[in-house]
Homo-oligomer: A and B are copies of this chain.
């Protein structure tokens, strides 16, 4: 316990520093709030450990959510739903369907898929029965689903928006959550080359444009070209993945440091590293493809040559889809996951994400086979989506035949949109009090005697006509309280009733958004026309 207290004390100090820094940098208020919430959690944990919480009345509960998790209130959910529905609309336009998998999987399904990050997997307690773990991403469950049902799902475009779980480093100063949403789109099936790959890039561009988060660029590379480069430069086969993962840090570290990792940590001869250095600084568009095509060292290499042919086809298809302008063919993009077998890509926004979302100083080693998603913790500042082609993952689940070949081989290409970062960008663009989280269109207000049943009758009439309506649950509400409720919820129209008006068969409608003084206390209309009148006004919104 003493140890934990010491760690906590350090974490609290570090988090206080982070908050100070965020405020100095003028970070978005939502980011500061998130960091403050983390600090509050740390302090509560400390209080529990030191027995301080006993002072507070008789409540036996620590009133908080578990570390690394949070509630999403109505305003946040309104933004989330808007993001999900925007993305889903794009996915559906391209024929996607959705599936749902359990939040936990058999432990053995996840085992051996995430390299050293397996330690971040949440296990369920042994309460008898099977050993289970919370899912770490949506890709491994998808591959498991395909391996189980592959015969029916050989031609399959699926999206999945769901929460995943990572027991991340106790240091929470990075604002990294232990429960967060992933939003994956994948195409499974054996197709002719690069057609699905081109469509997935088209989908990515459509989604990012629709999300309205500013300018973006999609960095693009091909694993076979990269592997060819490593071979041509003289990297021994067993070092290709570790060297690839060093290259992947080039978006955060200068070449000199990456080179140092290659030579000092990973034992690569300096001249080999220098040859790699010359290649990985290349970036461009079709011009780079031309350059590579003329490089005889590369074209003699089978892997590089296959990759270059793929890219030539891809550029053709991207031209048809009008997305080539958004692409940057970038030899330094390596992507951390071991299992990619073809094109890889990462979308970055031009404006960098808020500082709390990344930790540029200490990049983590990127060795997470078995996960096709955007790694929130390790992608560069501003990275908003990522993915690639992975043709062999499903085979890992399908078992092997007598010859040792997978029973089922389903090639896949996928993309994961970093929705948590999208939320944080969109939340930072607006004030919480300006977000309308309800959809109420009409508030029913009584002037004078309360008129509860009359208000209920009006609301009932509106509901039956599919108009979203509310009223105060009071017998005799004060008039200012009714106006306030209407304004607080940003409700666009008020229906105002009074005893005399009702007797004359009249009500008033007031447009709450209008500053037009001429409507005064509202426009009087015949009650019989109320629904039509409101529908007309609502359809014009």
Check A468/B95 contact, CB under 8 A, given A398-B59, A453-B316, A460-B321. yes
CA distance A181 to B439 in the complex (A): 24
Please tell me if A65 contacts chain B, counting CB pairs below 8 Å. Answer: yes
Interface size class of A (residues with CB under 8 A): 35 or more
Please tell me if A290 contacts chain B, counting CB pairs below 8 Å. Answer: no
Q: Is the CB of B61 within 8 A of A399?
A: yes
Interface residue from B103, B400, B438 paired with A58 (Cβ < 8 Å): B400
CA distance A70 to B439 in the complex (A): 34
Q: Which residues of B contact A109 (CB under 8 A)?
A: 61
**Could you tell me which residues of chain A, from 49 to 65, have a CB within 8 Å of some CB in chain B?**
56-65
Q: Is the CB of B125 within 8 A of A67?
A: no
Q: Is the CB of A127 within 8 A of B399?
A: no
Bitwise, A439-477 to B at CB < 8 A (1) or not (0) is: 110000000000011001100100100111110011100
**Could you tell me which residues of chain A, from 84 to 114, have a CB within 8 Å of some CB in chain B?**
92-106, 108-109
Q: Is the CB of A468 within 8 A of B438?
A: no
Q: Which residues of B contact A165 (CB under 8 A)?
A: 103
Q: Which residues of B contact A93 (CB under 8 A)?
A: 439, 463, 466-469
The stretch that binds B, out of A21-29, A141-149, A335-343, A502-510, is A141-149
Interface residue from B92, B125, B456 paired with A123 (Cβ < 8 Å): B125
Check A407/B129 contact, CB under 8 A, given A65-B105, A122-B124, A163-B103. no
Please tell me if A320 contacts chain B, counting CB pairs below 8 Å. Answer: yes
Q: Which residues of B contact A74 (CB under 8 A)?
A: 97-99, 158
Q: Is the CB of B61 within 8 A of A81?
A: no
Please tell me if A529 contacts chain B, counting CB pairs below 8 Å. Answer: no
Q: Which residues of B contact A66 (CB under 8 A)?
A: 102, 104-106, 130, 132
The stretch that binds B, out of A188-196, A226-234, A261-269, is A188-196
Q: Is the CB of B100 within 8 A of A400?
A: no
Please tell me if A202 contacts chain B, counting CB pairs below 8 Å. Answer: yes
Please tell me if A493 contacts chain B, counting CB pairs below 8 Å. Answer: no
Q: Is the CB of A320 within 8 A of B456?
A: yes
Q: Is the CB of A453 within 8 A of B130?
A: no
Check A321/B456 contact, CB under 8 A, given A66-B102, A73-B99, A148-B64. yes
Interface residue from B106, B130, B322 paired with A460 (Cβ < 8 Å): B322
Interface residue from B57, B400, B460 paired with A59 (Cβ < 8 Å): B400
CA distance A154 to B206 in the complex (A): 41
Q: Which residues of B contact A439 (CB under 8 A)?
A: 92-93, 95
Q: Is the CB of B57 within 8 A of A401?
A: yes
CA distance A80 to B60 in the complex (A): 39
Q: Is the CB of A473 within 8 A of B56?
A: no
Interface centre among A64, A66, A128, A132, by most chain B C-beta atoms within 10 angstroms, is: A66
**Could you tell me which residues of chain A, from 190 to 249, have a CB within 8 Å of some CB in chain B?**
191-192, 195-196, 198-199, 202, 206
Q: Is the CB of B399 within 8 A of A59?
A: yes
Q: Is the CB of B69 within 8 A of A81?
A: no
Q: Is the CB of A97 within 8 A of B77?
A: yes
Q: Is the CB of B57 within 8 A of A407?
A: yes
**Could you tell me which residues of chain A, from 391 to 422, have a CB within 8 Å of some CB in chain B?**
397-402, 404, 407
Q: Which residues of B contact A127 (CB under 8 A)?
A: 122-123, 167
Please tell me if A362 contacts chain B, counting CB pairs below 8 Å. Answer: no
Q: Which residues of B contact A322 (CB under 8 A)?
A: 460
Q: Which residues of B contact A81 (CB under 8 A)?
A: 98
Beyond the given A61-B108, A97-B438, please list 9 additional residue pairs across the A-B interface where CB-CB is below 8 A.
Answer: A56-B399, A59-B400, A63-B397, A97-B437, A103-B103, A122-B127, A124-B124, A192-B475, A317-B453
Top 10 A-B pairs, shortest CB-CB distance: A59-B399, A191-B473, A74-B97, A69-B102, A123-B125, A72-B100, A95-B470, A195-B473, A57-B399, A97-B437
**Between-chain CB contacts (< 8 Å), 28 pairs:** A58-B404, A59-B399, A59-B400, A62-B106, A63-B398, A63-B399, A66-B106, A69-B102, A74-B98, A80-B100, A81-B98, A94-B468, A94-B470, A95-B440, A95-B469, A95-B489, A96-B438, A124-B134, A125-B126, A191-B473, A191-B474, A192-B473, A198-B456, A199-B473, A206-B463, A316-B453, A320-B456, A321-B460
